[in-house]
Amino acid sequence: MSYRTTPHVTDRMPPGVPWIIGNEAAERFSFYGMRTILVVFMAKFLHVMDGRVGVAMSEAEAKEHYHMFVAMVYFTPLLGALLSDIVLGKYRTILWLSMLYCAGHASLAMMGTVGQSSWWLVAGLVLICLGAGGIKPCVSSNVGDQFGPANQHLLTRVYNWFYFSINFGSFFSTLLTPWLLEWYGPHWAFGIPGVLMAIATLLFWMGRRKFTHVPPAGVAFFEDLFSREGMVAMAKLIPLFLFFAVFWSLYDQTASSWVFQASQMDLDFMGIIWLESQVQAINPILILLFIPLFTFVIYPAANRLFNLTPLRKIGIGFFLVVLSFALTAEVQSWIDRGQTPSIGWQFLSFIIITAAEIMVSIVGLEFAYTQAPKRLKSMIMSLFLLAVFGGNIFTSGINKFIQIPSAAAGQAPAELAKLPAGWEKSPQSVVLPGFDGQAGTPDDFVQEYADGEPSKLGIPGLAAYEAAALKVEEQVAGNGGRLPNVDAVTDLGSDPWGNPIHYEILHGEQCRLISAGPDREENTRWDQGLIVNLKRPGVDRKKSWSDKLHPAEPWLTKRHRELDSEPAAEDKATGITFARTAFSGGQTKLQGAAYYRFFMWLMLGASLVFVPFAMLYRPRTYLQ
């Protein structure tokens, strides 16, 4: 079957654009709905999916895996662009790989049914990565393919509407999927975005006769790629994309580290109780407001003062990201001191970073398209998306680097190998050698296993840490139910090796009691202690119109009760419950406000270097 291969000759909007934008809105609902809840699911839900309470994933590990996933989502477009430009063309690439995308969502919805949920999670994320590889580089360039000389003046407007559709879809999914996860659990939260992905695929197929199908270039692609024109274009754009990579290494943390920060804040804002991952919905709301504001007010006003080129817009956006992370670091410093700031502060950070997104991401998308020779559009789009890959690989690597491995986990494989076959079928308590490497000595660990997975850890000298925890818990009772300041907690005793036990606030409801352990060196895998979580008694909340739309209790609460989790100790006077979890290593070397300041300084350095780069860059525009 043949399709139109050249743009419609018209000075109006091409007829295929509504179908492409409708597809993009549904697909973005699907992707952002799943992405919005991913770090929360990995850290709080995954370990209870398989009929038992396993070991919860740490925040740093969840961020590491999340950013690796996002990185691969933006790496596979390079493969998709090659498949599109050389073999299949954009239409067939988008349509066929969208089916893999749907299968990925189905896999995520299967977690907790049969088999191990971690395997369903990996399979689902891999399939989504492959599906995204066919969609991302082709859809944005497919929009540009619809325009010819007579209507090229509408290109800026349609890219704004294209971005509008992305955020229209993501706004509703960012509100809905956290709510579904909270009250109805992962099956619904991951399943409904999958249904929307199927609708997106159907919409795209229905519009196939309306839009232009640019045929694949075949071997001519390589002629264009290695031509002087192609090489010059890429040589100019690749350094620019490196700056974009730094931007994305910070920006994409709005769905990871910012989510965990939100969980430590007062989520009651203007009478609305937000869920920690729902806060991300402020971003698409702001995008919907900012696109017309910037297009019709801010850009024209700035142009009357100076020539506001695309590169100048991008540079201003970079400095706004620095400001947003400076504010985020300051808010985290309050949390580090045991305070519970209002989520309104994070909303302010979102306002700043969303303004940066308008000036970097939208402008960068259009600029990259116009700077690409016409038969290299998808390839350049994939390189533009590869900047997101680079930024997220960097953030994932940082989160992996700052994790301190667990000494007990490091000793476990050798001891488990000594057990008889089938040991996983019954609960086990395994003695793991400590620092001296010999079992049967005072520094041994005791690791409990259920269904072959580690459950509870016993550390040497546990009584000393529990005595320290009791002192802190007593001060909580005398401090209005709040964790005491670090300066107010002294003389917590020492561990069996003479190292002092230190008290650290992780956030308003969690503290850490830690010592250097048997090697007497801090920030090593032999550091050990207790994490103490406190939960204050619930308060009656205002009746909401949505009360009749969900069960009486959250899904996770019900799940823990079904699995008969070990109850936490309760302070009878205050009603506060305390849960203690022992650890060996497993903590992080860069945490709290220092984590955000690291990325702030990184972005500031990149922004300063970008200024002379932008002054030297000489753009050249290519259109179909």
Confidence tier at 168 by pLDDT (50, 70, 90): confident
Residue 10 lies in a domain: no
Residue 124 lies in a domain: yes
Are residue 387 and residue 409 in the same domain, yes or no?
no
Are residue 228 and residue 238 in the same domain, yes or no?
yes
Are residue 243 and residue 273 in the same domain, yes or no?
yes
User: What distance in Å separates the CA atoms of residue 573 and residue 313, rounded to the nearest whole number?
Assistant: 58
Does 134 have pLDDT greater than 90?
no
User: What distance in Å separates the CA atoms of residue 413 and residue 98, rounded to the nearest whole number?
Assistant: 40
Kindly state the average pLDDT of the residues 531-553: 68
Closest CA to 476 of 573, 387, 380, 563: 573
DSSP character for 554? -
Weakest mean pLDDT among 32-46, 144-158, 163-177, 277-291: 144-158
Residue 210 lies in a domain: yes
Are residue 612 and residue 466 in the same domain, yes or no?
no
Does 540 have pLDDT greater than 60?
no
Residue 5 lies in a domain: no
- Which tens digit of pLDDT belongs to each residue from 371-422? 777 666 667 777 887 899 999 999 999 999 999 999 988 888 888 888 888 8
Parent domain of 298: 17-403+593-616
Are residue 384 and residue 440 in the same domain, yes or no?
no
Are residue 346 and residue 425 in the same domain, yes or no?
no
Weakest mean pLDDT among 137-146, 202-211, 228-237, 469-478: 137-146
Closest CA to 381 of 372, 392, 389: 372
511 bridge partner residues: 505, 532
Number of domains comprising the chain: 2
Q: The tokens 């399939």 sit on which residue?
A: 127
Closest CA to 483 of 472, 471, 492: 472
Confidence tier at 572 by pLDDT (50, 70, 90): low
Q: The tokens 């494989």 sit on which residue?
A: 413
User: What distance in Å separates the CA atoms of residue 518 and residue 452, rounded to the nearest whole number?
Assistant: 28
- Which tens digit of pLDDT belongs to each residue from 481-502? 888 888 888 899 999 999 999 9
Chain centroid to Cα 387, Å, comes to: 16
Weakest mean pLDDT among 240-244, 269-273, 316-320, 353-357: 269-273
Kindly state the average pLDDT of the residues 365-370: 80
